[in-house]
């Protein structure tokens, strides 16, 4: 499959907002080349400078790349991205969008482009995300997730994912049934499995994400515990779970709140993320209206996540 790469040069403060726009507009993948983050990791002797090209280390802006499938909807999606970036630049982050470029890539080229900037990283108290091509010495008590992002958004380092994993570390005691909606690369499902969940159902509407997630589940030896399937959010889900995770976008979270109540047991936990801060109160109101009690809210940059409990 051919993909159109959109590379947006922006300031660090606007990276999360740019990423959200790309995801909302149907990006099949998002990658972030952040020279500031890389240089911090190098200074702390976590990563080695020789692994990164000098032109990237010298860059004074962040490069956000997204990938759109080349099909009949391509030009309409590109038009929406241009318009929303224009609004972002004029209304919220003046001068933040410094440039935008396009190129055509094939899937194998896209997958290889991740490898230069994707390194092992600690998430939360116990979880470490490790790309499949990197060596890592596991420390006592750590749970290491081997991950190949493929064409799916979700390397585990995005703030929305990090906040969800930290919630899961607190919530999972052992043996729970977990529903992971919009699983992407499968990162939250795999984290739940390693943390001790008894059964995990990973669902995504995108067949590419389903394929990638299933491969990552197998890489981590969790195929007996985690079932990956193609589906539209909670449509057709029967039975009740202990935990529901949804790392999506505000509009979708608002829409699924009533169904989230249906698929969770009394006392079940709803973990939601991917919410831009300006939409958070809207989402909280929808969750409360569907019978949830907000127990904890986490914020990182422009992003908000929450943990809520279903109470009859």
SS3 sequence, the chain? CEEEEEEEEECHHHHHHHHHHHHHCCCCEEEEECHHHHHHHHHCCCCCHHHCCHHHHHCCCEEEEEEEECCCCHHHHHHHHHHHHHHHHHHCCCCCEEEEEEEEEEHHHHHHHHHHCCCCEEECCCEEEEECCCCCCCCCCCEEEEECCCCCCCCCCCHHHHHHHHHHHHHCCCCCEEEEECCCCCHHHHHHHHHCCCEEEEEECCHHHHHHHHHHHHHCCCCCCEEEEECCCCCCCCCCEEEEEEECCHHHHHHHHHHHHHHEEEEEEEEEEEEEHHHHHHHHHHHHHCCEEEEEEEEECCEEEEEEEECC
**Does residue 115 or residue 209 have the better pLDDT?**
209
pLDDT of residue 116: 59
Q: What is the mean pLDDT of residues 201-220?
A: 88
Residue/partner pairs of 141-144 with CB below 8 Å, 24 or more apart: 143/191, 143/194, 143/195
Residue 116 per-residue DSSP state: G
pLDDT in tens, 242-286: 999 999 888 889 999 999 999 999 999 999 998 888 889 999 999
Give the CA distances from residue 20 to residues 23, 81, 97, 140, 204, in Å, rounded to whole numbers and listed in that order: 5, 11, 14, 36, 18
pLDDT in tens, 80-104: 999 999 988 888 788 889 989 888 7
Report CA dihedral (270, 309, 160, 262) to the nearest 10 degrees.
Answer: 20
Q: Of 15-24, 211-220, 224-233, 297-306, give the lowest mean pLDDT range.
A: 15-24
Q: Is the pLDDT of residue 114 over 70?
A: no
Domain ranges of the chain: 2-116, 121-310
Q: Is the pLDDT of residue 211 over 80?
A: yes
CA nearest to 283, candidates 190, 155, 160 = 160
Angle between helices 207-219 and 187-195 (to 10 degrees): 30
- Would strands 292-300 and 241-247 be described as parallel, antiparallel, or unpaired? unpaired
- Residue 194: enclosing H or E segment and its boundaries? helix 187-195
Return the ∠ at Cα 14 (arms to 188 and 124), rounded to 5°: 30
Q: Is the pLDDT of residue 155 over 60?
A: no
Q: Is the pLDDT of residue 31 over 60?
A: yes
311/257 Cα distance (integer angstroms): 13
**Structural class in CATH, domain 121-310:** alpha beta
What CATH architecture applies to the domain 2-116?
Answer: 2-Layer Sandwich (3.30)
Exposed, middle or buried: residue 262 (CB in 10 Å: 0-12, 13-18, 19+)? middle
- Would strands 199-204 and 226-230 be described as parallel, antiparallel, or unpaired? parallel
Check residue 184 and give left, alpha or beta (phi > 0: left; psi -120 to 50: alpha): left
């Amino acid at each position: 499959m051919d993909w159109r790469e959109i590379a947006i040069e922006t300031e660090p403060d606007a990276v999360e907002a740019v990423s959200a726009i790309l995801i909302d507009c149907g990006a099949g993948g998002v990658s972030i080349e952040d020279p500031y983050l890389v240089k911090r990791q190098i200074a702390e002797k976590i990563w080695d400078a020789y692994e990164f090209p000098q032109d990237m280390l010298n860059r004074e802006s962040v490069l956000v790349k997204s990938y759109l499938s080349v099909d009949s909807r391509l030009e309409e999606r590109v038009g929406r991205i241009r318009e929303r970036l224009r609004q972002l630049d004029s209304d919220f982050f003046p001068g933040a969008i410094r440039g935008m470029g396009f190129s055509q890539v094939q899937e194998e080229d896209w997958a290889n482009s991740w490898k230069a900037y994707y390194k092992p990283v600690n998430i939360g108290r116990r979880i470490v995300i490790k790309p499949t091509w990197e060596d890592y010495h596991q420390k006592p008590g750590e749970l290491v997730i081997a991950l190949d992002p493929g064409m799916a958004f979700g390397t585990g380092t995005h703030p929305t994912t990090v906040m969800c994993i930290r919630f899961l570390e607190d919530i999972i005691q052992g043996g729970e049934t977990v529903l992971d909606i919009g699983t992407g690369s499968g990162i939250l499902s795999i984290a739940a499995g390693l943390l001790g969940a008894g059964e995990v159902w990973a669902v995504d509407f995108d067949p590419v994400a389903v394929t990638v997630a299933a491969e990552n589940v197998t890489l981590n030896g969790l195929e007996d515990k985690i079932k990956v399937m193609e589906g539209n959010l909670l449509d057709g889900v029967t039975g009740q779970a202990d935990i529901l995770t949804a790392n999506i976008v505000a509009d979708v979270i608002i829409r699924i709140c009533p169904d989230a109540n249906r698929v969770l047991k009394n006392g079940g936990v709803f973990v939601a993320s991917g919410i831009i801060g300006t939409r958070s109160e809207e989402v909280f109101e929808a969750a409360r209206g569907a019978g949830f009690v907000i127990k904890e809210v986490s914020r990182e940059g422009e992003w908000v996540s929450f943990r809520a409990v279903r109470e009859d």
